[in-house]
Structure formats: structure tokens, C-alpha cells
Amino acid sequence: MDTNKRPDSMERITTVQLAQDFIQEQVAALQAQIGDKKVLLALSGGVDSSVVAALLIKAVGKQLVCVHVNHGLMRKGESEQVIEVFGKELDANLIYVDASDRFLDLLSGVSDPEQKRKIIGNEFIQVFNEEAGKLCGISFLAQGTIYPDIIESNGVKAHHNVGGLPEDMQFELVEPLKLLYKDEVRLVGDVLGLPHNMVYRQPFPGPGLGVRCLGAITRDRLNALREADAILREEFDNSGLSAHVWQYFVAVPDFRSVGVKDGKRYEGWPAIIRAVNTVDAMTATVEEIPYSLLHKITDRITAEVDGINRVLYDLTPKPIGTIEWE
């Protein structure tokens, strides 16, 4: 039997009861698989890794070692939420690594998007390896693989694997969500008691804000991007838009335009808002945001975020524009 194929008889998890049944089954299966050994998980704070972490904590408690690497390209408050939820509330065995300077130093002066992605991906593996190398007695590696990942990659989830681990670290994989679709994962996360904004967190690229701080990343522009993005997310939450817009974010390009502040001319960056809906991420439509809300967001970003003096709204569907700018 192909354990990477969802059985035709498997009911879609659409109710709290079905989610509870799934959790109960998985807790028993994880305890049987892991026994008294230790499991390692790269905990990004994304939906999939967070639900895997919560499931494993329920099943094996402190035998799970979570490593959260802050690469300095997280959205505002995300690493803090991981520490709060997993380190404090769930009392997880959490290792927090602030590698911001290390990543940003490596990215200094690099403007090519593919090069940026490679640096971020490779360095993440390097940091994770270093942390894994400090630990003793790890037998399992947990991953947030979900069913669409398996379908898209023909059973091999290479792009999410913590690849490049040293050869002497032979881990058995633990993938409790690998037969679930995203909506099922979210419902399971809800039933496990994870915060709503963590469970319904919108898709976020692996390189994080690194692909939204366009061109060569500078710390001041990255900081402006993080603050502008936080304002956008807050206003979408307040207006109820966050519940039905699939992905919304700010990108800040590497050029300035002239503006006026306190009666003086000054140069600042533009903040570009992107808000799209999609079913499969292959095509996407642009969300029609009420002008009153766009004006409010513009007023807040230009008043509260140092260095940004214009706000633009991207009206391009996919195709012809991709969802991310880089």
C-alpha cells in the first residue's frame, strides 16, 4: 500500500468531531512510531509546521525539540508569537535562534532574486544543521508535509525538506499531516487550540520578506516594509477583508521618489500593496478594495512608517503578473 496516497475511503475532515478523531488516531500512531525517542522539527510559525508541533507536543511532549530560526525576514511579531505560543503556553522544548544579522550580512548588496533565495535557503540549512549537531539522541525528523505537496512533487517533498543534513544524521521522517488538505490542517489546528491568526495565517514564502524587499536588501528599507505590511494586515483584519482575501502584502522597491513632509521636500520609497484571490495559485484575481480603506491604509503608512512617502495598489492579475514581485 502506498502510504503517500490518500485512501479513497478517507473522509474529508469538515467537522470538529472528525478533527478530534484524526487527532486521537495520530497521537496514538505518533506514540507507537516514536516510542521514547526524540524528534526534531524546524518550526517556522507557518500553519503546517505549527499544527505538526502541536500534535507532537500532545503525543510525546518534551521528546519533541522545536528549532525556530529567525532569519530576520519574518513579518512583524511572528517570531515573538512562536515563542509565546510554543515556548510559554504549550511549554514546548523550543530552541530559538536569532540569526538575523547572519542572514542580512550575507544578503548585503545582493539584488538578484534567485541569488537571494539561494543564500536564504542554504543559510537556513546551515543554521539548522548547526543546531541539530548540538543535540544528542535525535532519531526522527518531523515535517509539515501536506497532501498537495505530495501531489505536486510526485511523492517527494524536496522543496520543504530540511535538505543537506550531514550524512551521519540519519533521521526517520515523521509526517502526520501528509494526507490532509490545507483546509483540514486548519481545522485540526483550531481543534488543537492554536491561535486563530496562526492557523489562518496566509501563505508566506520561505525567503520571507526577502522577496518583498525588492532588489538589494537594506535594513532600513526592510524595517519600513515590515512596518507597512503590519499596518496593511491590521487594517485588513479590522475591516473583515482578511477572512476572504487569499493573500495580501506590501512590497517595497529599491528606488525613491520625491515627496513633501513638514513643508520640505524629501525622498522616500513607495509601498506597493498586493491583494489577490486564487483557488490553485496558478491564476489569481485582484481583490477590489474599497477606496475609503485604501485611503486609510495610505494615510497610516505614510504617517507612521519612516521612509515611505507613496502607496500604490497593484491591479495586475495572474497571468500576467505573478503573485510575488520577485
Band of pLDDT at residue 161, cut at 50, 70 and 90: very low
Q: What Å distances lie between residue 284 and 71, 235, 239, 273, 315, CA to CA? A: 29, 22, 22, 15, 11
Work out the average pLDDT over 112-131.
94
Calpha distance 129→106 (Å, rounded) = 18
What architecture is the 16-199 domain classified under in CATH?
3-Layer(aba) Sandwich (3.40)
Q: Residues 184-241: pLDDT tens digits?
A: 999 999 999 999 989 988 888 889 999 999 999 999 999 999 999 999 999 999 999 9
Predicted confidence at residue 149, as pLDDT, reads 82
Residue 39 has pLDDT above 90, yes or no: yes
Q: Roughly what angle, to the nearest 10 degrees, separates helices 47-60 and 182-191?
A: 50
Q: Residues 228-274: pLDDT tens digits?
A: 999 999 999 999 999 889 999 999 999 999 999 888 999 999 999 99
Q: Is 56 exposed, middle or buried, given 0-12, 13-18 or 19+ CB atoms closer than 10 A?
A: buried
Calpha distance 143→52 (Å, rounded) = 7
Domain boundaries, the chain: 16-199, 212-313
The beta strands (E) that lie in 10-88 are given as 38-42, 64-70
The share of the chain scoring above pLDDT 70, in percent, equals 94
Q: Residues 290-300: pLDDT tens digits?
A: 999 999 999 99
Q: Going by C-beta distance under 8 Å and a sequence separation of 6 or more, which residues neighbour residue 310?
A: 257, 259, 268, 269, 270, 271, 302
Is 212-313 CATH 3.30.300.10? Answer: yes
Work out the average pLDDT over 282-310.
96
